[in-house]
Each structure stands twice: as structure tokens, then as C-alpha cells.
Structure 1
Amino acid sequence: MTIGTNEANIARVYDYVLGGKDNLAADRAVGDAIMAKAPHVRMLAWENRRFLVRSVRRLVGHHRVHQFLDIGCGLPTQENVHEVAQALAPQAKVVYVDSDPVVIAHGRALLSTNPGTAMVEADLRDPDLILRRAAETLDFDRPIALMMIAILHFFPDDTGVHGIVRRLVDALPSGSYLVISHVERQPRLEKIVKQDYAVPGARPVFRDDEQLAAFFTGTSPVEKVQPINHILPDTARTPDDSAPFPHDSDPPAPIPVLGGIGRKP
């Protein structure tokens, strides 16, 4: 497999914005262009990661969910789902799904010694393949948390994304959860991203709270759609948490990234 190095890659750009090391010059150029016009983008990326961590901790610690299906997982970077979940429940199982060869290569190397995890190469637009491969690791008779973190805003409505999410949720057993984060519709941020996020294959779309709430059809709200830094704020850290996040408290003002958590009855 050959991985291109001359073009920016969504996963590597995100890794760079988070302060990771798995990125190239083309990725850093795109990231720098965005952050020059919107310096808060790095903070948004970190808040998105912190929302993931808080959600996984709550699902494992409070709701006793020990299975996760993370679609559009991105590059292995600060605190992956399996690291957070297995720290609380060593028996937890996690299936990561991505279509990016860069992500697949890194993910399989990372997970090679962890029998409770799997890396599936599949596109969100093929939910049946995702479900078949996930069933090789996860027990679909027990609750599963479907994680869709910062992935749906790369799928415009004309891709049939609402039906895809519904297909995935319908396949989950009762007592499962859906966790989503998504960039909020804000004209200035939308203009910056569309102008400077010049990544092949990326068509970012921005949605408001009502549009994001539509993805939770078929679930009951556990955490309503709202800015992610307002969701589970009291569970941002545990007493023994030493994760390398760049700041310790949530910003006081809402940020333009929405999220929510729903439970399938």
C-alpha cells in the first residue's frame, strides 16, 4: 500500500491541530492556514477530544456499556476510545472504523497487541459492511455505544447520511447509545473552513442544533444537543487523571461544536 505524501489528509491535519506527530508538510500547511484566521480551532479540536473522553467515561462508569463502535475514528492520538474504556473496564471491546489508508495502517499497528480491539477498513456509506465486520468483535445482543465524533460534517445531506445513521442505530440492541459531535453552522467559521480546508475528498457541511438532533431519531435524549463543552462538564477529569490536555477547565462560553448523546429504547 502506498500512502501519498504530497496532498493534505484529513486525519493528519486533525492530528497536527491536536499537537500530534503523525503529519506531513502538506497537512501542517492546511492546519496553519486555518489557525491563522481562526486561532481558536486548536481549542475546538481539543474540546472535541475531551468530549469523547468524557462520554466514554460516563458510558462505561455510569451506564455500564463495555462495547464501542467508533466510526471515522481518525489517527491514533491523545486518549483513544479503547484506552479510556479499558482503563475503567479491562474487558471493554472497541471496533474502530475508517476508510483512510493512513488511519488503517496506524490503527492496525497500534492495536496489534490488544485482543479487545479491531480496526475495520470501511466507508460510512457502506453501513452493512461496517455492521458485518463489527459483529466479528462485538456482541450485538448486548448494548453498544456508536461513536460518531466529528465525522458527520463530512457528509452532506445528498449522501443519504441520515438514512445511513438510522440503519446503524436500527441494528443496535436495546440499551445502546449514540454519541455525536459536529461543527455548528456559523457563517464565519464555515467560510474559513471551506476556503482553507483544501483537503481532497472533504466536503464539510455545517448544521445547526435542530439539524443535528435529526440524527438522533430513534433514540431518547440522554444529553440534549448543545455545545460539547456544556455536556458532562463535571466529568471532565477524575482525581487520578493525568491526560495531557492543554487546559483543565471548560471554557465559560459555548463553542461552535455541537454534540449529544441518545439511548436506544
Structure 2
Amino acid sequence: MAEETTRLPVRESRSFLQRAVRFLAEEARVDQFLDIGAGVLTAGSTHEVAQRKVPHARIVYVDSDPAVDARFTGSPEGAIRYLRGDLREPRTVLGDPRLKETLDLDRPVALILVAVLDLLPDHRQAVGVVRELLAALPSGSYLAATSFTLDHRPADPHSRPETHPRTRAQFAEYFTGLGLIGPGIVAVSEWLPEVPAHQRPPADAVALYGAVGRKP
């Protein structure tokens, strides 16, 4: 049971990422993605989902884990770049010349912050990071983000000790000034879901908020 409790949020977070990227590529017509804290790339990562819809899409992955490497060169039409970088140092990430070689920051970019903001213990720092990153992106850019929450269930000292839960109000601060898409801030399983309601896990089991917002 404990193992399933751990796996469910991971699955739902992954599913949210894929639905969000599909929406951004297909409906919002974004063809540039900046995915920070991506981790080891597996099937269904941002580049695969985006380039399935938009073959020429360009993706920059950023992660501080040395185990993550740059084995992906992308399709002939698109481009994928991996950068070693730390979410806590947005200025360094944004100033990396390799990022600017891959992404045109004068055109809309989808900023992906999935399963990473709640790794920062200081919520104010996390808000500052998001604002600095968004400030560097032009009008028409998007933010897709998630965060662990305990709003729907009591704290479990043995559950996800490496993460720092946020309330709904705290999570909403990441989207200040953005236009929320679809249902707004909801459990990740409820954001533009692709399965019937009776097949979706309850919010207390998922324990993750998710949302997508557009920069005006």
C-alpha cells in the first residue's frame, strides 16, 4: 500500500506533464519549451510529446543532477539541448549561451516546472525564481507547474520527506498575473483529464496541485 501511495502521485504528475505539453504544442501552438528539473529523460518526456505534435519544436532541459546526461539530439527538424543548471540560479540558467542558441526568447516559450518547485524549502525563494524566469519570457509564453500539497490529507512524516508542501494559496502565487487555462488550479488528475471521473484518483490520494497559465 505504501509503495502504491508513492507511485500514484508520480504517475499522475507524469500524466499531467504529458497532457499539458500536448495542449501547449497543439492548442496553444507553442514550439519552444524550457523544462527545468526534468530529471532522467524517459518515454513520454517533454521533447517526445511536443515533437509528436510539432516536429520542429525546440526543447531545452535543465537539471543539476550529474546522472542526467545529454543523449538526445532531437529530430532533424527540431532541437534538444541539455544544460547542467540549478533552479535556484535562474539568472545563470537564462544567461547560458547554449540556451539562447536553442530558444528564441523573443518568441513564446513554455516554461515547465513539474515536480521541482516543492523541492525548494523556502516558498518565497520559489516564488522569486518563477517570477524571474517568467520576466525573461515574452508575452504569449506559458507556465506549467505542479506542487505537492497536504491540503487534502494530514501530514505523513514518512511520505516524501524531500518535498515541501504548498497550500493552494501558495501555489497560486506562482501564477500571479497569468491567465489560467481550463479548470485553473486543481489536483493534477483533474486538469483537462482524458479519463472519466470515476476512473480518476481522488485529490487526497494524488496530493498534487497542477496548473497552466499564459503570460499576457
Please report the TM-score for the alignment, with normalisation by the length of structure 2.
0.88
Q: CA RMSD in A?
A: 2.0
Q: How far does residue 219 in structure 1 lie from its aligned partner after superposition?
A: 1.2
Matched AA of 2:159: V
Aligned-partner Cα distance in 1 for 2:2–2:74:
41
Decide which structure has greater helix share. Answer: 1
Aligned equivalent of 1:6 = none
Aligned-partner Cα distance in 1 for 2:61–2:190:
26
More moved, 130-139 vs 60-69: 130-139
Matched AA of 2:193: P
Aligned-partner Cα distance in 1 for 2:156–2:118:
11
Aligned-partner Cα distance in 1 for 2:12–2:142:
21
Matched AA of 1:259: G
Between Structure 1 and Structure 2, how many residues are aligned? 206
Which consecutive unaligned segments of at least 5 residues does structure 1 have? 1-35, 237-248
Q: Residue 165 of structure 2 is aligned with which of 193, 203, 206?
A: 206
Aligned equivalent of 2:213 = 262
Whether the aligned pair in 1 keeps the contact of 2:58 and 2:103 (CA below 8 Å) is yes
Matched AA of 1:63: A
Whether 1:122 and 2:48 are equivalent positions in the alignment is no
Q: Residue 78 of structure 1 is aligned with which of 43, 64, 72?
A: 43
Matched AA of 2:164: V
Aligned equivalent of 2:202 = 253
Whether the aligned pair in 2 keeps the contact of 1:222 and 1:263 (CA below 8 Å) is yes
What are the superposed Cα offsets for residues 216-250 of structure 1, whole Å, 9 maximum, x if unpaired?
Answer: 1231211411101110113x7xxxxxxxxxxxx85
Q: Which has more radius of gyration?
A: 1
More moved, 64-73 vs 74-83: 74-83
Whether the aligned pair in 2 keeps the contact of 1:127 and 1:167 (CA below 8 Å) is yes
Matched AA of 1:226: V
Matched AA of 2:60: V
SS at match of 1:55: helix
Whether the aligned pair in 1 keeps the contact of 2:74 and 2:80 (CA below 8 Å) is no
Q: How far does residue 80 in structure 1 lie from its aligned partner after superposition?
A: 0.8
Aligned equivalent of 1:231 = 191
Q: How far does residue 211 in structure 1 lie from its aligned partner after superposition?
A: 0.8
Aligned equivalent of 2:55 = 90
Whether the aligned pair in 1 keeps the contact of 2:37 and 2:63 (CA below 8 Å) is yes
SS at match of 1:193: coil
Q: How far does residue 182 in structure 1 lie from its aligned partner after superposition?
A: 1.0
Q: Residue 9 of structure 2 is aligned with which of 39, 44, 69?
A: 44
Matched AA of 2:202: A
Distance change >3 Å, CA 146–CA 188, structure 1 → 2 = same
Q: How far does residue 50 in structure 1 lie from its aligned partner after superposition?
A: 0.6
- Aligned-pair identity (%): 38
Which consecutive unaligned segments of at least 5 residues does structure 2 have? none
Aligned-partner Cα distance in 2 for 1:227–1:46:
13
SS at match of 2:158: helix
What are the superposed Cα offsets for residues 147-182 of structure 1, whole Å, 9 maximum, x if unpaired?
Answer: 000001100226722111100011111000000011
Matched AA of 1:260: A
Please report the TM-score for the alignment, with normalisation by the length of structure 1.
0.72
SS at match of 1:96: strand
